[in-house]
Structure 1
Amino acid sequence: MKFNTIYTLCLAAFAMTACSEDIDLGGVGTENIEFPQGGVVYVTDAQGKRNFSTVEFRDRITSELNIHTQTPRATATAVKFQYDENVLTEYNRKNNTQYKALPANLVQFANDGVVTLEAGKTLAIAEYTLTSDGSLDPTETYVLPVRASVSSGDAQLGSVDATRLIYVRDLSGIPDCTKYVPGPDGKFVPGAKLFSCMEVNNTNPLNNLSFTIKGDSYNGINRGKCLFDYFIIFSANINFNKETGRVYVLCNENVQALLDNREKYLKPLQDRGIKIILGLLGNHDGSGVSNLSDAAARDFAQECKALADAYNLDGFFFDDEWSEYSKYNLHLSYPGFVEPSVEAASRLVYEFKKAMPERIMATYIYSTTTSLYEVDGVPSGEYVDYGLHDYIKGWDLNENGNYPGMPRSNQALWSQNFSTSSDGNKFITKDNLIWLRENGYGSHMLYAMNPFEWNFNWQLETMNECAEAFYDDTLVFDNKTYQKDWK
């Protein structure tokens, strides 16, 4: 991640933008997505995704599948959803995977799974409820296999909508980092997600545990919850081995120390509900996020899946910097490389998500990953879970078709950098953060938090502003700090 020390962006215009009195949870940008036309109905999840649906729950949750048509139909259409383990069996066979089916007794479809899209309407909602019985392993991902069929009416389902895999984790036994705030209807909904992207060459991840929410607001619903929802290990590298002709993951001695000693440095964060994401960054040898062939991207995704399985990682963060593509021009000399492009970067991230649909894929909005393209019919806003802006940048990622399908709640605007002068980052004020919340932008990133740096008081002030703006509460620092204690 680059170290910007001079800022030229002025955010005053954003601060003056009129805000709604209600919290806008942020709609999914669908204006740039191609959906079936005519007599075809299609299915999305609650986030508007036709692919890669995930659900995490504690004790009990009710979620939904949505039936859509682009134009109102003259007659009603009924669609039936049902649990069908054969859907997962076939998927495992084709993809050489071993996902376990969510037990059928934990799933209940409302109205026996039948939902009717009434004549003249373009949307109908089918609800299903997942209930924990305490039998599921919270570290394992299960799959709810669903088959859909038109039970009455003359409409047809889209080709990708007849079957669906919903990746489920029952976290009933694990503390929750999610902070809740009142939604437009007065019900509590998840608040903003805060990312800690930490330079681990000199900072101990355990410091992320020292910051919690006091819980004075909303009858203590957020009391004691960790401020940070995600911790990004910054960073592992994409490297090229000329002897094998393949790229591989290189972890320097600091990243590797954390992985090898995950019980000490990473598991305590996960035990408090913080998800662990591994950064992937170029390393000055000509290989990187945006120059792998389709086949090389698939191979690299499988290698990283094995790494994630081995170290129980929750996802990956793609940062297209420091590769020095033009210095080496690997595509001119080695198979497995292509000329650097947005297409290649899109393919890489898509292959990661395809190999690990249950894991989080986040991109740094910079260089080739500023805008990713549709791959195999899947818009980038579906295979990328979070888009984390470059420092103090704040434009909507659905604009101009950059990440179609990504909801505002997953767009991290106006990231802040603690590794530089506090004056530079004061472009981001508490009012800016409130603007994000009121306009439905539900994510934010803080880079290089370190309690041993000279500007820690400013870091504390900024983190408290996040607590106040996003959760109407205050920060608690327990005064525990952790030095780097590995070699």
Structure 2
Amino acid sequence: MKYLNLFKLQYMVILILGCLFISSCTEEDMTVGTVDEKIYEFHDELLGYLTDDQGKQLSSDVEFRLSGDLSLYLNLTKKTTSDCTVSVVYDENVLEEYNARNSSSYELLPRSQVILPEEAVLEVKAGEKKSSPFQISFVSNGELSVDNKYVVPLKINVTSGNLNLVQEENTWLIFVTDKTGMPDCNKASGFKIFSCMEVNDTNPLNNLSFTLKNSKKLLIDALIMFSGNMMYNRETGQVTMKYNGNVQALLDKYDHYLKPLQDRGMKVLMGIMPDHDGSGLCNLAPETCRDFALEIKAMCDAYNLDGIFLDEEYADYSIYDLYLTVPGFVRPAASACSRLAYEVHKLQPEKDIMIYAYSTIYSLPAIYVDGRTVQSGEYVTYAVRDYGIAGDMSYSFPGLPKSNMGLYSQEYTGKFIASKANLQWMVDGGYKTHMIFAMDPYRLNFEYQQLPSMQDIAKVFFDDELVYDGVKYPKDWE
């Protein structure tokens, strides 16, 4: 029996038995250390699948300066009595087929910049379930655009052993960004600071005023524009993006307000949240998720955004109950947001997807797509908790590495300011993502709350001293 048909049969059996636990299955991250093999245990055949050194499947995302590398592993669903090997080949056709299938236009990383081992095979020895690392290296030629993603397309073929590859596992895409010629915000400790900014009141350029004394790096790694909105158009039946006058003004003047941040290595993410019209991140049917993901891709492409920040507030589901009367909507559940994030990642695997772990999307369950279980770690890049809340997020976002979990988020209007002890707790626990909200040098508490807080961040997270240049950028748009 073919592998795909087996999955369909499994799915039918699950439906017949009424096992609705699928919507609350554990999730698996793009950076999972292990893969949930339960989805393969239904088969007697020996199956193989690849993971990278972060546990991701099907694709990887790599940024490097001058040179970089990535390790791949061959995994088996059970131990075998004989050696199993697969070959790895750079194959341009893999990218051509991907671009055609997804209406994308990614370019190849030239073969001359990709270094494969002389013996390009992954081997699992008899009695084992995982191969040794297979290292792929990349080198810069100094000519690639720092604004583009390039792709290393790999074809995987079984060369020995009674082994079948899991569906779609016969290709691998490595999305590569050559940052050699671009400034960056990356600090040695690995901490990432996200500035979620209320752009109705505050100029994003204020994020450029804070650097670290020793490293000379910007304190802030990414701006989150708070916020764009999703809107249900009752005339067309479509869910689209909309922006208030302040957000639209910044987008329209991207070169003035946003590009200077990216030129310094800072990422720019768009917040997406409901707007009191009954549509939300958690009530879109799969087909609506796919359509809205296309809308999000169009937004990111048009405004050169680096990702999105999903915030499930203000949907007013119970007032409208759209799923009762409108095709394309479902009863509100976190699994719908899982599907939306999955569809966004499928179209833009190189973009960051950050989840505000609050309300209905306090956690994201696994979903069943195209014959396999897809866990949240395959499409979520970061997840951050609400203000002042700590605690490991592995149960809510299984597979998400601690480094990408954001704890003790701070609210700079004064509602919650993290203490040094809070920040040190994150350091000791290996949590390396942190969000501040509503930083504004024109607010009255800037000198006695916001600035000291950022000084604490600089000291505890980076063992450095904050330098504030005193430059304040006013809101100067209409």
Given the two structures, how large is their TM-score scaled by the length of structure 1?
0.86
Q: Deviations over 1:283-312 (max 9, x none)?
A: 111111111111111111111111111110
**C-alpha separation between the residues in 1 aligned to 2:100 and 2:358?**
38
Structure 2 residue corresponding to 1:429, chosen from 403, 419, 442? 419
Q: Deviations over 1:409-437 (max 9, x none)?
A: 1111121111234xx43xx3223222222
**C-alpha separation between the residues in 2 aligned to 1:101 and 1:230?**
27
The equivalences for 1:10-409 within 5 A come to 28=32, 30=34, 34=38, 36=40, 39-69=46-76, 71-123=78-130, 124-181=132-189, 191-215=190-214, 223-375=215-367, 376=369, 377-399=373-395, 402-409=396-403
Contact 2:366 2:375 in 1 (8 A): yes
Structure 2 residue corresponding to 1:470, chosen from 457, 461, 468? 461
Contact 2:33 2:54 in 1 (8 A): no
Q: Secondary structure at the match of 2:293?
A: helix
Q: Deviations over 1:189-235 (max 9, x none)?
A: xx1111110000000000101111111xxxxxxx2111111110000
**1:8 is matched with which residue?**
none
Structure 1 residue 36: deviation in Å?
Answer: 4.0
Q: Deviations over 1:29-60 (max 9, x none)?
A: 64766464573332112221114421111111
**C-alpha separation between the residues in 1 aligned to 2:99 and 2:267?**
26
Q: Secondary structure at the match of 2:408?
A: coil
Q: Deviations over 1:367-420 (max 9, x none)?
A: 221111223222111111111111122222222xx2222111111112111123
Contact 1:213 1:226 in 2 (8 A): yes
- Go from structure 1 to structure 2 and tell me whether the alpha carbon gap of 1:395 and 1:482 turns closer, same or farther (over 3 Å shift): same
Contact 2:441 2:472 in 1 (8 A): yes
- Gaps of at least 5 residues in structure 1 are 1-26, 182-190, 216-222
Task: Work out whether 1:412 is the aligned partner of 2:421.
Answer: no
Contact 1:109 1:129 in 2 (8 A): yes
Q: Deviations over 1:316-344 (max 9, x none)?
A: 11100011111111222222222211121
- Go from structure 1 to structure 2 and tell me whether the alpha carbon gap of 1:106 and 1:31 turns closer, same or farther (over 3 Å shift): closer
Given the two structures, how large is their TM-score scaled by the length of structure 2?
0.88
Contact 1:32 1:404 in 2 (8 A): no
The residue identity in structure 2 corresponding to 1:200 is: V
**C-alpha separation between the residues in 2 aligned to 1:431 and 1:438?**
10
Contact 1:346 1:380 in 2 (8 A): yes
> What number of residue pairs does the alignment pair up?
440
Contact 2:199 2:227 in 1 (8 A): yes
Pairwise CA RMSD of aligned residues? 1.9
Contact 2:231 2:239 in 1 (8 A): yes
- Between stretches 404-413 and 155-164, larger displacement belongs to 155-164
The residue identity in structure 2 corresponding to 1:63 is: L
**C-alpha separation between the residues in 1 aligned to 2:202 and 2:407?**
24
**C-alpha separation between the residues in 2 aligned to 1:31 and 1:171?**
30
Contact 2:282 2:332 in 1 (8 A): yes
Percent identity between the aligned chains? Answer: 45
**C-alpha separation between the residues in 1 aligned to 2:283 and 2:423?**
36
**C-alpha separation between the residues in 2 aligned to 1:290 and 1:141?**
30
Contact 1:33 1:405 in 2 (8 A): no
**C-alpha separation between the residues in 2 aligned to 1:116 and 1:130?**
22
Contact 1:198 1:448 in 2 (8 A): yes
Q: Deviations over 1:87-127 (max 9, x none)?
A: 11112222222222221111111234223333444432111
- Go from structure 1 to structure 2 and tell me whether the alpha carbon gap of 1:69 and 1:432 turns closer, same or farther (over 3 Å shift): farther
Contact 1:409 1:441 in 2 (8 A): yes
- Gaps of at least 5 residues in structure 2 are 1-30
**C-alpha separation between the residues in 1 aligned to 2:54 and 2:35?**
15
**C-alpha separation between the residues in 2 aligned to 1:174 and 1:372?**
34
Structure 1 residue 84: deviation in Å?
Answer: 0.7
**C-alpha separation between the residues in 1 aligned to 2:334 and 2:384?**
17
- Go from structure 1 to structure 2 and tell me whether the alpha carbon gap of 1:262 and 1:149 turns closer, same or farther (over 3 Å shift): same
Task: Work out whether 1:443 is the aligned partner of 2:433.
Answer: yes
**C-alpha separation between the residues in 2 aligned to 1:79 and 1:285?**
52
The residue identity in structure 1 corresponding to 2:110 is: P
- Go from structure 1 to structure 2 and tell me whether the alpha carbon gap of 1:33 and 1:227 turns closer, same or farther (over 3 Å shift): farther
Q: Deviations over 1:49-76 (max 9, x none)?
A: 1144211111111121122235554433
The residue identity in structure 1 corresponding to 2:65 is: R
**1:10 is matched with which residue?**
none
Contact 2:52 2:73 in 1 (8 A): yes
